[in-house]
């Protein structure tokens, strides 16, 4: 694969209509928004996409259309790996591999559904790798649901040594783990992309190759600037690190519905309907709209500062 599956890896939303169908026109506008706002890689059919609440046909079409809408401008990786049963995994992985995505991402907790350990993980990995073309680049995602299945060092090395893996969405949320994994990956094509906003800049400085957290749905361009300037000793960089970490604390307040509200305010798509956030966000989380407005204001202010600095 010529393209790299790293940098600012946006964990894509799935726009729905009010009557619970996928909004394909909205998806096209969303892909354009990601590309125009600093995305390097689109992670289609992931947890932010509500993949556990999509049928296989919807997952396949979502990946296929994302590839078409991206039109070669950025890398597209995909998962949709939600099953535990071997036959179901074979069906979904083979179908997703045929969508045109640049890399197939395996979910670690479905490689070892019962959290039985390395031998079970190895068996699950062999099964999954046998379901996709032998020359297809692969990724791993330590998805938090249904449980967070972190890779051991030996499992990381096992995947590295296949020569097939190009990216890990790291959900350890631990800077020492990120550093250790970066060191283990040195000299290979396997890269580590942290997903935790609190350690985003520190992980970048440690050799992590970008960012893959949920707030790539709010301000991927700010993360892109941080990635480019993570080593810069500037007040702007230090203030931006704090803002991004604090803004991401809003994730428990109804995400992904919160991100969909944000995009309806931008006009990216028309409905904030979510199969996951199937409740009124404003009723459950008091002052959430005020929080969202602060995030919008802060995002706009940092964009202005960055643009001004670039012109200086």
260-304 pLDDT tens trace: 999 999 999 999 999 999 999 999 999 999 999 999 999 999 999
Q: Residues of the chain with pLDDT > 70: what percent?
A: 99
Torsion-angle region of 72 (φ positive above 0: left; ψ -120 to 50: alpha; else: beta): left
Contact indicator for 120, 161 with CB cutoff of 8 Å: no
User: Quick one: which of 225, 255, 262 has its CA closest to 243?
Assistant: 225
Q: Which pLDDT score, from 0 to 100, does residue 311 have?
A: 74
Cα 132 to its chain centre, rounded Å, is: 21
Q: Which tokens in the block code for residue 184?
A: 């283990």
> Rounded to an integer, what distance in angstroms lies between the CA atom of residue 154 and that of residue 129?
18
Task: Measure the CA angle with vertex 47, ends 215 and 163; round to 5°.
Answer: 95
Options 3.10.129.10, 3.20.20.70, 2.40.50.140, 3.40.50.1970; CATH for 7-311 is 3.20.20.70
Instruction: Please report the pLDDT score of residue 312 as a whole number.
Output: 61
List pLDDT tens digits, range 63-113: 999 999 999 999 999 999 999 999 999 999 999 999 999 999 999 999 999
pTM of the model: 0.97
pLDDT (tens digit per residue) in 216-244: 999 999 999 999 999 999 999 999 999 99
Provide the residue ranges of all domains of the chain, joining segments of one domain with +: 7-311
pLDDT per residue over 125-165, tens digit each? 999 999 999 999 999 999 999 999 999 999 999 999 999 99
Residue whose tokens read 């428990």: 252
Strands of the chain (E only): list them.
7-11, 41-44, 75-78, 103-107, 138-141, 165-170, 191-194, 210-211
Signed CA dihedral, 93, 99, 104, 110: sign only:
negative
β-pairing, 138-141 with 165-170?
parallel
Contact 169, 43 (CB under 8 A): yes
Mean pLDDT of the chain: 97
Looking at residue 1, what is its pLDDT?
Answer: 43
């Amino acid at each position: 694969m010529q393209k790299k599956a790293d940098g600012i890896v946006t964990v894509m939303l799935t726009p729905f209509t009010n009557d619970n169908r996928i909004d394909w026109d909205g998806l096209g506008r969303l892909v354009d928004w990601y590309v125009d706002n600093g995305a390097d890689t689109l992670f289609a059919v992931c947890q932010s996409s509500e993949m556990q609440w999509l049928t296989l046909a919807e997952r396949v079409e979502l990946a296929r259309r994302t590839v078409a809408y991206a039109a070669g401008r950025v890398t597209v990786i995909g998962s949709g790996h939600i099953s535990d049963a071997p036959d179901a995994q074979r069906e979904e992985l083979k179908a997703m591999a045929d969508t045109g995505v640049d890399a197939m991402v395996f979910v670690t907790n479905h490689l070892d559904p019962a959290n039985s350990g390395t031998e079970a993980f190895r068996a699950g990995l062999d099964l999954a790798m046998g379901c996709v073309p032998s020359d297809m680049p692969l990724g791993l995602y330590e998805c938090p649901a249904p449980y967070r299945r972190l890779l051991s060092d030996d499992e990381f090395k096992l995947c590295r040594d296949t020569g097939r893996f190009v990216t890990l969405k790291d959900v350890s949320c631990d800077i020492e783990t990120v550093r250790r994994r970066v060191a283990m990956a040195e000299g290979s094509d396997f890269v580590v992309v942290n997903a935790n906003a609190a350690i985003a800049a520190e992980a970048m400085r440690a050799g992590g190759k970008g960012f893959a957290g949920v707030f790539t749905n709010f301000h991927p361009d700010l993360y892109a600037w941080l990635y480019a300037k993570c080593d810069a000793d500037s007040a702007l960089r230090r203030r931006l690190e704090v803002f991004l970490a604090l803004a991401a604390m809003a994730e428990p307040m109804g995400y992904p519905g919160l991100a969909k509200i944000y995009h309806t305010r931008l006009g990216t798509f028309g409905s904030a309907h979510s199969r996951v956030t199937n409740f009124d966000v404003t009723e459950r989380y008091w002052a959430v709209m005020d929080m969202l407005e602060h995030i919008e204001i802060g995002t706009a202010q940092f964009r202005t500062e960055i643009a001004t600095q670039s012109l200086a």
